[in-house]
Amino acid sequence: MATDSGESASTEESEKPDGVSLECMNLSVDATLTMEARTKECVSTPASGVTVERKRFFRKSVEIMEDEKDLELTPRNEQEQFILGDQRMIHLSATTLVAEQEARNEQNSKAIMEATKERMKKEIEEEAEMKAVATSPGGRFLKFDIELGRGAFKTVFKGLDTETWVEVAWCELQDRKLTKAEQQRFKEEAEMLKGLQHPNIVRFYDSWESTVKGKKCIVLVTELMTSGTLKTYLKRFKLMKPKVLRSWCRQILKGLHFLHTRTPPIIHRDLKCDNIFITGPTGSVKIGDLGLATLMRTSFAKSVIGTPEFMAPEMYEEHYDESVDVYAFGMCMLEMATSEYPYSECQNAAQIYRKVTSGIKPASFNKVTDPEVKEIIEGCIQQNKSERLSIKDLLNHAFFAEDTGLRVELAEEEEDGLHPSLALRLWVEDPKKLKGKHKDNEAIEFSFNVETDIPEEVACEMVKSGFFHESDSKAVAKSIRDRVTLIKKTREQRQVGNLEERRD
């Protein structure tokens, strides 16, 4: 018996791999079971503490084996090794793998960005040290021999602000032979321009007199605009979407309002699509060439300045105020709406002058298809400056209001402007404001009596009729009120103009 027992024990020991207990062998065998086998085994085994323990072990096997460092499973053959490896991969968290990959990608991206920034900085520094061809009197601004643009009497080069390492525009103007009084006046106004900071105004940094190739010139340093002007945009795309037109015109008006509310007011005097710049990253617009306009006014004090197509009649007589910028804005809006240069039908400046002073509108005015846009342009380019809309009037106009999803316009153009009843059309451009009675982009037409109706009451009626949510009532009322107020003002201006014509 002893011998049999010994042989049995010897046989069992010989079947075990060296250094692995029988208990560990059972664990190893369990680990080689497929998912299907485990599932069947769990189903066939009654619910007990042992079964729960087996399930918990199965789900946490990798963690347990890693914690028990002295437990080391050694697969007996290649098939077992494959199965064990596969099971280990199953237990690895997919979320962890993804997170690790994302972390690596993020680290790589940051490293690339940092390397790119560092390389760009070095390139700028090298360009500044090796290729700068001129510096400002204080040494802050550098000029590179990289021409960005050229005009009749100006050349623009790429420059650099060494305080911020931001590229700037270095503009050289031909010497205008200013007197000492004119030089002093220009310096004073240039100092004032340096302090102007507005999101819709191109920054003016500095100016000074210099000598280039033996000739005197004046240097202006401004913010660098690399995405072109409204003029280049219109040449490229021809048609401008109404939403873009509204947004850009609103920004131009905000810039003009900022200039006109300075003390003393700043008048641009040469506003046109050529000097309204587009910023690439944001798509916003900025009014530029302020320093240039100031210099031109100083150096051409006894002659006509500006661009004839955009000049108000009173500029020829040199008695003007901020309303000349409103006139020019109207011409800019006309060019934006038609992609046609105002008075392009004229052959020379003399023909333009005769039409402007006679109150004859550009031929392109009749090509404006949107009645609301046409009405605004007409309100800006009136021959009599007292009849023109003000910047404040325009900013309060429903057309230029911040996008509320609602817009009110005349459904029918007025013939005489004497009838108290108006035919209005309310456009609902934001579907979220509809209550379900209208399709997207379908207008609501209604009548409004300027003598008896109240915008708030009309808006409430629309809410009760199910056209709008009650929360939109105030916005609807404001849109109606703004439109009616503008119509009343336009009527008054026409009546004043008619009276003056009769007197003449």
| Tens of pLDDT, residues 47-62 | 444 444 443 223 333 3
Residues 239 and 345 occupy one common structural domain:
yes
Give residue 119's pLDDT band: very low, low, confident or very high (50, 70, 90): confident
What secondary structure letter does DSSP report for 194? H
Average pLDDT over residues 205-218: 86
**Pair 62, 73: CB distance under 8 Å:** no
Give residue 19's pLDDT band: very low, low, confident or very high (50, 70, 90): very low
**Pair 259, 266: CB distance under 8 Å:** yes
pLDDT at 295 over 60: no
Give residue 42's pLDDT band: very low, low, confident or very high (50, 70, 90): very low
Would you say residue 83 lies in a domain?
no
Would you say residue 324 lies in a domain?
yes
If one counts the domains in the chain, the total is 3
Would you say residue 2 lies in a domain?
no
Residues 261 and 367 occupy one common structural domain:
yes
**Pair 166, 217: CB distance under 8 Å:** no
pLDDT at 303 over 70: no
Residues 184 and 239 occupy one common structural domain:
no
pLDDT at 209: 86
Residues 276 and 372 occupy one common structural domain:
yes
Would you say residue 72 lies in a domain?
no
289 noted as active-site residue: yes
Structure-model confidence comparison of residues 326 and 151, the more confident one: 326
Residues 410 and 448 occupy one common structural domain:
yes
Q: Which of 289, 325, 453, 482 is catalytic?
A: 289
**CATH number of domain containing 355:** 1.10.510.10
Residues 298 and 420 occupy one common structural domain:
no
Residues 306 and 245 occupy one common structural domain:
yes
Q: Which of 400, 425, 460 is the last residue of a domain?
A: 400
pLDDT at 419 over 90: no
Give residue 319's pLDDT band: very low, low, confident or very high (50, 70, 90): confident
Would you say residue 442 lies in a domain?
yes
Residues 495 and 428 occupy one common structural domain:
yes
**Residue 132's beta-bridge partner residues?**
144
**CATH number of domain containing 442:** 3.10.20.90
Residues 392 and 496 occupy one common structural domain:
no
Q: Which of 366, 400, 434 is the last residue of a domain?
A: 400
Would you say residue 60 lies in a domain?
no
Beta-strand runs (E) in 179-234: 204-212, 215-223
Mean pLDDT of all residues belonging to the chain = 77
Residues 232 and 283 occupy one common structural domain:
yes
Residues 327 and 460 occupy one common structural domain:
no
Would you say residue 5 lies in a domain?
no
pLDDT at 125: 59
**CATH number of domain containing 215:** 3.30.200.20
List, for residues 86-113, the tens digit of each pLDDT value.
Answer: 444 444 455 666 677 777 887 888 888 8
Longest CA–CA span in the chain (Å) reads 144
> Could you give the C-alpha distances from 430 to 2, 164, 404, 462, 466, in angstroms and in order?
96, 42, 8, 16, 16
Q: Which of 373, 400, 427 is the last residue of a domain?
A: 400
Q: Find the domain containing 179 and state its range.
A: 128-224
Question: Which residues, 6+ apart, have CB-to-CB distance to 224 below 8 Å?
Answer: 148, 158, 159, 166, 167, 168, 169
Would you say residue 282 lies in a domain?
yes
Residues 254 and 346 occupy one common structural domain:
yes
Give residue 294's pLDDT band: very low, low, confident or very high (50, 70, 90): low
pLDDT at 185: 76
